[in-house]
Structure 1
Amino acid sequence: MAFNKEQWSWIFYDWANSGYGIIVTTAVLPIYFKGVAENSGVTAANATAYWGYANSFGTLLVAVLAPFLGALADYQGYKKRLLTGFASLGMVMTIGLALLPSNQWQWLLVIYVLSVLGYSGGNLFYDSFLTDVSDNRQMDRLSSVGYGFGYLGGVIAFLLFMVLEFTNGFGQLSSLGVARWGFALAAVWWLAFYLPFQRNVQQRHALNTTAAPLRQSWHRVWQTILHLRQHKYLAWFLVAYFCYIDGVDTIFTMATSIGLDIGVQSTTLILVLLVVQLVAFPFSILYGWLAGKTSTRTGILVAIVVYLVICLDALNLKTTTDFWILAVLVGTSQGGIQALSRSYFARLVPKDRSSEFFGFYNILGKFSAVLGPILVGVVTQMTGQSRIGAASLSILFVLGLLIFLTIPRTMVDKS
């Protein structure tokens, strides 16, 4: 089943903002911020704390606004305008990170939080556009290819940054200069690959615009919360999703600390990150194929079982080789479970209110990796073994699996 120009344009938005995700959020800005803050007299402990506060505030801000913004986007003509607005905010703030003087660590945090708002807000509308660019038969494959190309785009953008880093900007840049050019690269990458989306993707499912869309959006969100029983299985899926995606995100966020505990070198950890992204590219697409041959439900169940195996095998995690094996296993299913969860949810929601419901989906995505790190931390402290802490995440996957199994097979697969 070939994709048309509109669908490829949708796919490449995931490619577009992947440079921000890996260069800014994951690899460069955390280290750059600590260096800037400590050079300004901030202690290492305080710098880490301030970075954590900024991330928490940015996440909370997006999560609180998500349902309202989603409800507003469901009115005719609003979804694309909101995506453009938030994506533009993210791009401009990412350029701002590159232009800000290196002694302004407070403003660095402010600009970063605004860039997170643009990035995460844009993703909310991007996800909900899945119902506009595909029918139910195409959703699994399209969503999977989107995630796959997102991983591949992130790897390519990061490799371009690594060329800058290893050559010191071809002998012209300091370490701070390399980081700034990395932020500029992420912004330009985002803009260049967003342009096809802007030209070719259109909102097809929408509510008629009202005279007071802001007030009506708040009213609709409140009514949805009050009448969740009318969407019983959708609500249960969100609970299951929260459990297992919490486990998925926790494995990703805690992997570095666990790797360091067993003696994995920091340079090896960066290489592992790249390999996981590369493995995720074909396997995300493979999960879309699996869902087409069997069902979306089956694909999600397979991914949850793979993560259960990862958690239980963590009990044997002792060497760098063990860490590599588990990392590759994560890569095989990380994109697949996210892609199929998105397409499964997109089938359940009312098409003309998809952005509102994806707002609730976004909340749970943002608040995931809350229970998981606490669980890992408590078990690790009790046992003195981080590998046992990692294994404890199996509890979240078992809960997610059991709740997901309560949803009737026909809820999605019949479509």
Structure 2
Amino acid sequence: MKKNIPSVINAWCMYDWANSVHALVIVSSIFPVYFSATALSASGTPDVNFFGTQIKASVLFSYTVSISFLITALLVPVCTAIADFTGKKKRFMQFFCYTGAVSCMLLYFFTKETLISGVFLFGLSLIGWSGSIVFYDSYLPEIATEDRFDQYSARGFSLGYLGSVLLLLFNLSMILAPQFYGITQKSLPARISFFTVGLWWILFAQIPFYYLPSGKADKEKSGNWIFQGFKELRKVYGRLREQPYLAKFLSAFFIYTMGLRTVMYVATIFGATELKLPSQSLIITVLLIQLVGIAGSYTFAWLSGRIGNIYALMIGVAIWIGICTGAYYTTEAMEFYMIACTVGMVMGGIQSLSRSTYSKLIPENVTDTASYFSFYDVTEKLAIVIGTFIYGTVEYLTGSMRNSILALLVIFVIGLLLLYRIPSRKVYHFELDRNEN
């Protein structure tokens, strides 16, 4: 298809606008705070009776994230291979999108009495969100030329930040001034927020679902679609091993993402548990991160154009090392806010640049982009699984989140060393024999 069509590019970016409210409201701000408050026992201790086992709420939160992304990592490769074989990429994207959005809406019923079902719904929302992202990301090399990858990827992340901030502001107005909306029940504003996330996600997702191409099945292939899906996956895996920089990039991406995404999922819990910050301060901090993140996404896109993607990523990872060092010694609220602003500058920039860098490393002329991005997605999800598990386990064994931060610091140092092995270029260009397709 023709590439760089404005209507298609803008529609693709709108899925970031649609789904990013989940990352902000459910993962980073309102839900973690609500979860911590709801999980408090009658004696006021942060322990949860989960199927007869007493466990800290923060540890349960980390483990829920780990298990959810492990399930996604097992599902996505098969789904993407089948999607490439059958030409139903958009259908799979819709399925995961609606699964995540409906789960968010059902979190409206999450109370102390429905704690266990709430944990499962939270996990299901993560599966739906992360599953849809891999199909969304895989459209980038299909609809854009390589020289625009950084720009369009940054635009998507920036729209995601902006859209999620708008919804969070509305949700914050309910939480901070419930009387304005005639709300008297204390937990209702937060639960309404969860419902609005699902509604927002579904409504704005209709824009990319309308404009993005549906994909076409390969008429020359025949046989059982599940068997052919695995065959497709094996073929792409063989190509990945032959590419000079893909394997090196994925290994580095795996390590630094382990630290980056773990921080994203546990930062609010850290502020609430270790620093005892009030709920409103934590949510406003996350809001500040989103606003700074818009500038960060474009800054790293500009930086990659000047010095190349890999060097730009190395700068971002080096900043993360400084963030972990600062977080370990943080004791005051103001210090936490300063670190949060720094996180905002590098969080979206590294994510955006990682996506566009991988797109550049995919060989020219491939048609099975969903299968290629399944490896990227599985790498990311396994990194989240291991990162959050390490974080939760270190806290469980030592009783302190600060020791978990030290573990993340080591992870970022290793990621920086792995990135150093890859040459930094402004453009990567690889040809693939058309006959293979």
| TM bracket, shorter-chain basis | 0.7 to 0.9
**Cα deviation, residue 290, structure 1:** 2.2
Residue in 1 that maps onto 2:178 = 168
SS at match of 1:138: helix
Q: Distance in 2 between matches of 1:40 and 1:225?
A: 52
- The correspondence of residues 14-413 of structure 1 with structure 2, limited to 5 A, is 14-30=16-32, 32=34, 44-46=47-49, 48=57, 54-75=64-85, 77-98=87-108, 103-168=113-178, 170-202=181-213, 210-225=222-237, 228-256=240-268, 258-259=270-271, 260-262=273-275, 264-314=277-327, 317-350=330-363, 351-369=366-384, 370-371=386-387, 374=390, 378=394, 390-391=405-406, 393-409=408-424, 412-413=427-428
Contact 1:128 1:358 in 2 (8 A): yes
Contact 1:250 1:373 in 2 (8 A): no
Out of 135-144 and 182-191, give the one that drifted further: 182-191
Q: Distance in 1 between matches of 2:372 and 2:68?
A: 21
**Cα deviation, residue 7, structure 1:** 0.8
Out of 91-100 and 18-27, give the one that drifted further: 91-100
What does the per-residue CA deviation read over 1:21-60, in whole Å, with 9 as the maximum and x for residues that have no partner? 2223333444555676779999942253665554333222
Q: Distance in 2 between matches of 1:212 and 1:344?
A: 34
Q: Alpha carbons of 1:253 and 1:50: their partners in 2 closer, same or farther (altered >3 Å)?
A: closer
Out of 210-219 and 312-321, give the one that drifted further: 312-321
Q: Distance in 2 between matches of 1:163 and 1:9?
A: 29
Q: Distance in 2 between matches of 1:103 and 1:312?
A: 39
Q: Distance in 2 between matches of 1:395 and 1:158?
A: 33
SS at match of 1:45: strand
Q: Alpha carbons of 1:412 and 1:235: their partners in 2 closer, same or farther (altered >3 Å)?
A: farther
What does the per-residue CA deviation read over 1:244-289, in whole Å, with 9 as the maximum and x for residues that have no partner? 1112123333434554535644432222211111100121122222
Q: What TM-score do the two structures reach when normalised by structure 2?
A: 0.82
SS at match of 1:406: coil
Residue in 1 that maps onto 2:53 = none
Contact 1:132 1:202 in 2 (8 A): no
Contact 1:144 1:339 in 2 (8 A): yes
Output the amino acid matched with 1:285. Y
Contact 1:254 1:373 in 2 (8 A): no
Contact 2:63 2:389 in 1 (8 A): no
Q: Alpha carbons of 1:50 and 1:57: their partners in 2 closer, same or farther (altered >3 Å)?
A: same
Q: Alpha carbons of 1:122 and 1:389: their partners in 2 closer, same or farther (altered >3 Å)?
A: closer
Out of 402-411 and 136-145, give the one that drifted further: 402-411
Q: Alpha carbons of 1:376 and 1:306: their partners in 2 closer, same or farther (altered >3 Å)?
A: farther
Q: Distance in 1 between matches of 2:148 and 2:229?
A: 29
Q: Distance in 2 between matches of 1:51 and 1:322?
A: 25
Contact 1:74 1:355 in 2 (8 A): yes
Where does the alignment leave 5 or more consecutive residues of structure 2 unmatched?
51-56, 431-437
Q: Distance in 1 between matches of 2:263 and 2:121?
A: 28
Contact 1:207 1:353 in 2 (8 A): no
Q: If each structure's helix is expressed as a fraction of its own residues, which one has the higher value?
A: 1
Q: Alpha carbons of 1:236 and 1:192: their partners in 2 closer, same or farther (altered >3 Å)?
A: same
Q: Distance in 2 between matches of 1:4 and 1:245?
A: 31
Q: Alpha carbons of 1:326 and 1:31: their partners in 2 closer, same or farther (altered >3 Å)?
A: closer
User: CA-atom RMSD, angstroms?
Assistant: 3.5
Out of 168-177 and 355-364, give the one that drifted further: 168-177
Output the amino acid matched with 2:14. F
SS at match of 1:75: helix
Out of 398-407 and 63-72, give the one that drifted further: 398-407
Q: Distance in 2 between matches of 1:226 and 1:413?
A: 20
Q: Alpha carbons of 1:380 and 1:187: their partners in 2 closer, same or farther (altered >3 Å)?
A: closer
Q: What TM-score do the two structures reach when normalised by structure 1?
A: 0.86
Q: Distance in 1 between matches of 2:380 and 2:282?
A: 25
**Cα deviation, residue 185, structure 1:** 1.0
SS at match of 1:175: coil
**Cα deviation, residue 91, structure 1:** 2.3
Where does the alignment leave 5 or more consecutive residues of structure 1 unmatched?
none
Q: Alpha carbons of 1:113 and 1:263: their partners in 2 closer, same or farther (altered >3 Å)?
A: closer
SS at match of 1:352: coil
